[in-house]
Each structure stands twice: as structure tokens, then as C-alpha cells.
Amino acid sequence: MRDFTHKIYRDFLTALKKRNFQFITVEEYFNSEYNEDKPFIIIRHDVDRRPKSSLKMAKIENSMGIKATYYFRTISQTFKPDIIREIANLKHEIGYHYESLAETNGNYEKAIEDFAKNLYRLREIYPVKSISMHGRPTSKWDSRLLWKRYNYRDYGVLSEPYLDIDFKEVLYITDAGREWNNELINRRDRVDSSFNFRFNHTEEIISNINRGVLPNKIMVNIHPEHWAEGNIEWYRVLFIRKIKNFVKKQFLS
Ligand SMILES: [Zn+2]
């Protein structure tokens, strides 16, 4: 059975609802705006490219009464104000998917300027309070290092999930590289976890939810560009992903 289709995504959300999961945004998590007696999931989307695929996902979630957090890169192909606005109007939260240190090749002074400038551009559309690092696989620079020298709180940012969430307590699942928690092709999107779940197919995650064996606190990172509605789109995504993962493996080997 094909994975990463919108149908399976809907099944995944439905399974979580049946198990009484609360769907909370990153900001709600940090403001403790949720019921502590119920399980929760934070759905986080890193919008690397193809923002239209994020809009489609945002509509699916909204139609099911679900809120998520969308972290946008600010490169020209991704930074589309109309789409960002439309996703925010669907009750989702917007964050900044920064890559400043990779963008400036490790120049910290230029990187913090780049960060502040792009945060400002996003804030003309939405009052961004949360950021997440984009792990450019082809760069040797990890943009989180910027926070060794600067403090994002000085820029009115309240959270960076990679740095502020205790992933020994919250299960982290990511579809980076269009595979679940595959650290072989995924250089930076990893956390220090105390859990050991390995999924080969979204159906396996769903069956774990149905059996009630997943923890009560979960963050899932989903890249909407990996997921497709129809057949042609699905094969397009698969083809691109095969090439990208091949290139990534060359960089990592
Ligand atoms: Zn990214």
C-alpha cells in the first residue's frame, strides 16, 4: 500500500482523534494551554518548499477541526504571503523556519541580521513567536549554533522546539527524507530521545495509536511536500525524493 498520501494522513488524524488526543500548537504547548489529563500531539510542519502542498494539508486539518504549526522558510519559492495568510486564517499557527547560519556560510554577524530581517518579513503577516531550524543537508553549518552567541528571546521569540522541548518526555516522529525517523538520510532533524520507535509505514504508526502503545505526549514533524493527493502527484514526489536522498547520502558518506 502506498504511503504518504492524503488519505493515509486523514486516517492518521482520525486514529488520534479516536484515542482522544488533543491537537495543540507549539505556542499552546509552551503556554500550557492544554488539558494535562489528556494525551496531546503537536503537529508541526516544516514548509521547506512547495507551499501549496502545505495549504492543501492545512485545509484537510481545518476540515477535521485540527490546528497545526507551520514553519515557513523565507526563500523566494516558499515565502508566499497569500498562502501564509490563508493558512493562518484556517486557525493554524505560523513560525519561522530559519537557516541563517547556513545562508551566510557561518558568518554570525551577517546571520543574525538575516534572521532578524526575515523574522520581520514574516511578522508583517503573522505575529511569529516560534522558530525551528531548517537543516540544509548540503551545508556544513548547523543554524542552531547561532544561539550559542545570540539569544532568540531578545527577538521576541519564545521557543525553538529543538532546544526547548525535552524529547526524553515527548516522543518525536519525523518524516524527514520521506521516511519515518530515518537517521541515515536525515542529518540534522534528530533529537535526543528516550524512545525507540521505528516505523516503516504510516500504517504502522496508526496501528500503534490504535493499540494505545504510543506515549501520551507526541510531536510529529510532517513536511507537506512529501505527501500527495492523486497518483501523478504521488509519483512526482517519489521521483524527486529518490534523487534527493541519493544526493544526501553522497554528502553524508
Ligand atoms: Zn526544513
CA of 132 to the centre of ligand 1 (A): 8
Q: Grid cell 510542519 — which residue?
A: 45
Can you give the pLDDT at residue 233? 85
Q: Is residue 1 part of a domain?
A: no
Q: Is residue 87 part of a domain?
A: yes
Q: Does 74 have pLDDT greater than 90?
A: yes
CA of 134 to the centre of ligand 1 (A): 4
CA of 73 to the centre of ligand 1 (A): 7
CA of 211 to the centre of ligand 1 (A): 31
Q: Is residue 83 part of a domain?
A: yes
Q: Does 185 have pLDDT greater than 70?
A: no
CA of 30 to the centre of ligand 1 (A): 21
Q: Is residue 195 part of a domain?
A: yes
Can you give the pLDDT at residue 102? 96
CA of 188 to the centre of ligand 1 (A): 10
Higher per-residue pLDDT: 127 or 139: 127
CA of 37 to the centre of ligand 1 (A): 32
Domain that holds residue 215: 6-252
Count of positions (residues) in the chain: 253
Q: Is residue 124 part of a domain?
A: yes
CA of 196 to the centre of ligand 1 (A): 23
Once rounded to an integer, what is the mean pLDDT over residues 119-139? Answer: 95
Q: Does 252 have pLDDT greater than 80?
A: no
Please name which of 235, 140, 94, 130 lies closest in space to residue 178, comparing C-alpha atoms. 235
Can you give the pLDDT at residue 184? 67
Higher per-residue pLDDT: 250 or 75: 75
**CATH assignment of the domain containing 83:** 3.20.20.370
Q: Is residue 186 part of a domain?
A: yes
Can you give the pLDDT at residue 52? 97
Average pLDDT, the chain: 94
Once rounded to an integer, what is the mean pLDDT over residues 115-140? Answer: 95
Q: Does 35 have pLDDT greater than 90?
A: yes
Q: Does 108 have pLDDT greater than 80?
A: yes
pLDDT digits (tens, 9 = 90+) for 170-179: 999 999 989 9
Can you give the pLDDT at residue 186? 72
Choose the weakest-confidence range: 185-189, 195-199, 239-243: 185-189
What percent of the chain has pLDDT above 90? 79
For the chain, the three-class secondary structure string (H helix, E strand, C coil) is: CCCCEHHHHHHHHHHHHHCCCEEECHHHHHCCCCCCCCCEEEEEEEECCCHHHHHHHHHHHHHCCCCCEEEECCCCCCCCHHHHHHHHHCCCEEEEEECHHHHCCCCHHHHHHHHHHHHHHHHCCCCCCEEEECCCCCCCCCHHHHHHHCCHHHHCCCECHHHHCCCCCCEEEECHHHCCCCCCCCCCCCCCCCCCCCCCCHHHHHHHHHCCCCCCEEEEEECHHHCECCHHHHHHHHHHHHHHHHHHHHHHC
Q: Is residue 196 part of a domain?
A: yes
CA of 205 to the centre of ligand 1 (A): 22
pLDDT digits (tens, 9 = 90+) for 213-237: 999 999 999 999 999 988 888 888 8
CA of 72 to the centre of ligand 1 (A): 8
Can you give the pLDDT at residue 99? 97
What is the number of structural domains in the chain?
1
CA of 207 to the centre of ligand 1 (A): 27
